[in-house]
Amino acid sequence: MAPHPRLAPQARLLSLVLAVALGLGSAAPGLGHGPEASDRAEPDPYSILTWHDYSPPSPPPPPPPPAAPAATCAEDLHGKGDFSTTCELSEEVQLDGDVYITGNGSLVLNSGTALTCEKPGCVISANLSGEVRLGRGVRVVAGWVSLAAANITIADTVIVNTSGLAGDPPDRTSGVPTGTHGDGGGHGGRGASCYVKDGQSQEDSWGGDAYAWSDLEHPFSYGSKGGSTSVEKDYGGVGGGILWLFADDLLMNGTVLADGGDSSDKGGGGSGGSIYIKAETMHGAGKISASGGNGLAGGGGGRVSINVFSRHDDTQIFVHGGMSSGCPDNAGAAGTLYDAVPKSLDVNNNNMSTQTDTLLLDFPNQPLWTNVNIRNHAKVVVPLLWSRVQVQGQLSLKSGAVLTFGLTGYPYSEFELMAEELLMSDSTIKVFGALRMSVKMLLMWNSRMLINGGGDSVVATSLLDASNLIVLKESSVIHSTANLGVRGQGLLNLSGDGDIIEAPRLILSLFYSIRVGPGSILRGPLVNGSNGDV
Ligand SMILES: *[C@@H]1O[C@H](CO)[C@@H](O)[C@H](O)[C@H]1NC(C)=O
Ligand SMILES: *[C@@H]1O[C@H](CO)[C@@H](O)[C@H](O)[C@H]1NC(C)=O
Ligand SMILES: *[C@@H]1O[C@H](CO)[C@@H](O)[C@H](O)[C@H]1NC(C)=O
Ligand SMILES: *[C@@H]1O[C@H](CO)[C@@H](O)[C@H](O)[C@H]1NC(C)=O
Ligand SMILES: *[C@@H]1O[C@H](CO)[C@@H](O)[C@H](O)[C@H]1NC(C)=O
Ligand SMILES: *[C@@H]1O[C@H](CO)[C@@H](O)[C@H](O)[C@H]1NC(C)=O
Ligand SMILES: *[C@@H]1O[C@H](CO)[C@@H](O)[C@H](O)[C@H]1NC(C)=O
Ligand SMILES: *[C@@H]1O[C@H](CO)[C@@H](O)[C@H](O)[C@H]1NC(C)=O
């Protein structure tokens, strides 16, 4: 199964000759390492679809909430002590506006106390050189909670809740759905819509759109409101708030929430907000959630980013979409969970079925992300034409994941997919246009890769290049309606019943060994399942 090293140099040459001969080379934006940007800058009649978010690389950590008169322990918080030593709270305190706490001391909320400001966008910010300790049963509720301290303790049964308390989402975003269909709000994922226009399918219908992709490493946007079914009355759930925890040592036994607000069956759920945790160490088995709110149509998940050097924990993290009572198979789309230390992105919808997409836009080049995991019924789309999805390690799709390149009905573009490994189990990749895949290993378990090259030959041949290994198991299918090249220097193994690779013209090249198990099919006029260097 190892690649055949002796074969490699000739193999490369041969493959190049082959590629040129087949006219693959010129049409492709250099498989892998070419100057993509210039290759992609071709004029395109569908300019709206080729828009790229060429925003500069993500800036350093987000700005702290705006400076304001610093709060005092006794007056503003009805506590004992001060912020240059220790300020201790022993009662429930309801604030009626923003508080900004700074000092060289500590803040302690004793068991059973609360600090709340239940107004949309209300800020509770503490930036202390000592510690922030939230004792058992403490509640902290506001639209934006930011805690920065040398160490932060969030004890068992603590709830820090910014759910349904968002301020305004960023300007020029369309997370709040229009119309009166009671759609879900969008943010990390799109909000669901149970309303399907004539001639469209559920897949083409969504509520609020996604935004703040370029901030997913350090999210700081509010979630968006869901839509209403009435012009007079606003039934939409409110978006999730913003929650930041910055510490050297963080003990996370409690629950921290930035969920979208729920609605009734007369409005859509709000979308999840933003949670950003940065710490040297994190311990505890708490819960972190920035999920979409439930409603007639569910809100999209929000954005969570964890930047913790040393994790000793079983924290559970959720960014799934909200439930749709009006179309139960179409929950809000999953949001994003970014883990900054391995540089990996997770999109997980917790097995809530959806027809609504989470958008993947630009992938960073410097440095590359390590892994991208799409799982548990998350449905992800790479909507920008001529896009590239590139990771250093694995792109893995599991448990009902769907990854779509391009837009249904616009099969005019090429997409690039580059990774060390592409692993698919019980999952689907759909391509509208052509795919240039370059991996070391492609493993498919009960999975499908469906390439719709359109009726004409505008789009070049798709090329799947797996240098070491391609294995299809448990009725996995690679199906292309346009020409398909499958290339590698190692093994191609269709292990058994129902494993199929088929295309009108199928070109297999350079495999060291090809095994077609009983019941497997390689179908295409050029090749009929035998050992075959072309
Ligand atoms: C906390 O305060 C320090 C110095 O006063 C500042 O550098 C830092 O950015 C602040 N952090 C937050 C999260 O506001
Ligand atoms: C915190 O301590 C530093 C130096 O010890 C001092 O310069 C600063 O003024 C103190 N800040 C506050 C808010 O007391
Ligand atoms: C947090 O800091 C305080 C004061 O610096 C210290 O007494 C306490 O032990 C620390 N707690 C943890 C969990 O590190
Ligand atoms: C956090 O949880 C751990 C494990 O359940 C427990 O040992 C520890 O006492 C808890 N700490 C606090 C402050 O809740
Ligand atoms: C958090 O706040 C939301 C909105 O007010 C509320 O519905 C939810 O029950 C709260 N969650 C917890 C665990 O208290
Ligand atoms: C989702 O379904 C898969 C496969 O059935 C299962 O392994 C996984 O535990 C489920 N996850 C959740 C969050 O329900
Ligand atoms: C191909 O897959 C089958 C079934 O999994 C396995 O038995 C066989 O050994 C594989 N062939 C090679 C050459 O690895
Ligand atoms: C491959 O060719 C053989 C005869 O040459 C034929 O019996 C078989 O059905 C063909 N297989 C496919 C998948 O077309």
Backbone angles phi, psi at 524, to 5 degrees: 170, 140
Query: Among all ligands shown, which has an atom nearest to the Cα of 494?
Result: 7
From 29-38, 141-150, 171-180, 219-228, the region with the lowest mean pLDDT = 29-38
Nearest CA to ligand 7 atom 4: 495
Strand 344-348 to strand 336-339: parallel, antiparallel, or no bridges (unpaired)?
antiparallel
CA atoms within 13 A on the CB side of 448: 13
Q: How far is the CA of 351 from the centre of ligand 6 (A)?
A: 6
| Gap between the Cα atoms of 212 and 271, Å rounded | 13
Per-residue pLDDT tens over the stretch 49-62? 433 344 444 555 55
From 33-37, 55-59, 182-186, 506-510, the region with the lowest mean pLDDT = 33-37
Q: How confident is the model at residue 67 (pLDDT cuts 50, 70, 90)?
A: low
From 51-55, 387-391, 478-482, 486-490, the region with the lowest mean pLDDT = 51-55
Position with higher pLDDT, 455 vs 363 = 363
Q: What is the CA radius of gyration of the chain?
A: 26
Q: How confident is the model at residue 40 (pLDDT cuts 50, 70, 90)?
A: very low
**Mean pLDDT confidence for 34-41:** 32
3-state helix, strand, coil in the chain (%, to 5): 10, 40, 55
Tell me: cis bond preceding 120? Omega within 30 of 0 counts.
no
Closest-lying ligand 6 atom to the alpha carbon of residue 350: 13
| Gap between the Cα atoms of 319 and 304, Å rounded | 7
Q: How far is the CA of 341 from the centre of ligand 1 (A)?
A: 22
Q: What residue ranges line ligand 1, CB within 6 angstroms?
A: 64, 127, 146, 148, 246
479 lines ligand 7 (CB under 6 A): no
| Gap between the Cα atoms of 73 and 65, Å rounded | 19
Q: How far is the CA of 495 from the centre of ligand 7 (A)?
A: 6
Which pLDDT does position 38 carry in this prediction?
32
519 lines ligand 8 (CB under 6 A): no
Number of H helices, E strands in the chain: 5, 38
Integer CA distances (angstroms), 445 to 283, 326, 467, 496, 500, in order = 35, 33, 19, 11, 12
| Gap between the Cα atoms of 432 and 450, Å rounded | 9
Pick from 348, 341, 347: which is nearest to 369 by CA? 341
Per-residue pLDDT tens over the stretch 449-473? 999 987 666 567 899 999 999 999 9
Tell me the best of 84, 107, 131, 132 to mutate to test the pocket of ligand 3, counting ligand atoms within 8 Å of each CB and taking the most: 131
Percent of the chain with pLDDT over 70: 85
Q: How far is the CA of 359 from the centre of ligand 5 (A)?
A: 28
Which pLDDT does position 60 carry in this prediction?
54
The rounded Cα 133 to chain-centroid distance in angstroms is 32
Pick from 69, 87, 79: which is nearest to 131 by CA? 87
Which pLDDT does position 279 carry in this prediction?
96
Give CA angle at 153 (259, 109), nearest 5°: 85
Closest-lying ligand 2 atom to the alpha carbon of residue 129: 1
Answer whether residue 3 shows pLDDT above 80: no
**Mean pLDDT confidence for 422-431:** 98
Collapsed DSSP state (helix, strand, coil) of residue 376: coil
Closest-lying ligand 4 atom to the alpha carbon of residue 254: 14
Tell me the best of 132, 154, 253, 281 to mutate to test the pocket of ligand 4, counting ligand atoms within 8 Å of each CB and taking the most: 253
Which pLDDT does position 502 carry in this prediction?
92
pTM: 0.86
Tell me the best of 470, 495, 522 to mutate to test the pocket of ligand 7, counting ligand atoms within 8 Å of each CB and taking the most: 495
86 lines ligand 3 (CB under 6 A): no
Closest-lying ligand 3 atom to the alpha carbon of residue 249: 14
Q: Which two tokens stand for residue 87?
A: 């300020």
From 65-79, 284-298, 518-532, the region with the lowest mean pLDDT = 518-532
Percent of the chain with pLDDT over 90: 71
Position with higher pLDDT, 515 vs 525 = 515
Asked if residue 292 lies in contact with residue 323, where contact means CB atoms within 8 angstroms, the answer is no
Closest-lying ligand 2 atom to the alpha carbon of residue 84: 14
The DSSP symbol for 354 reads: -
Asked if residue 300 lies in contact with residue 271, where contact means CB atoms within 8 angstroms, the answer is yes
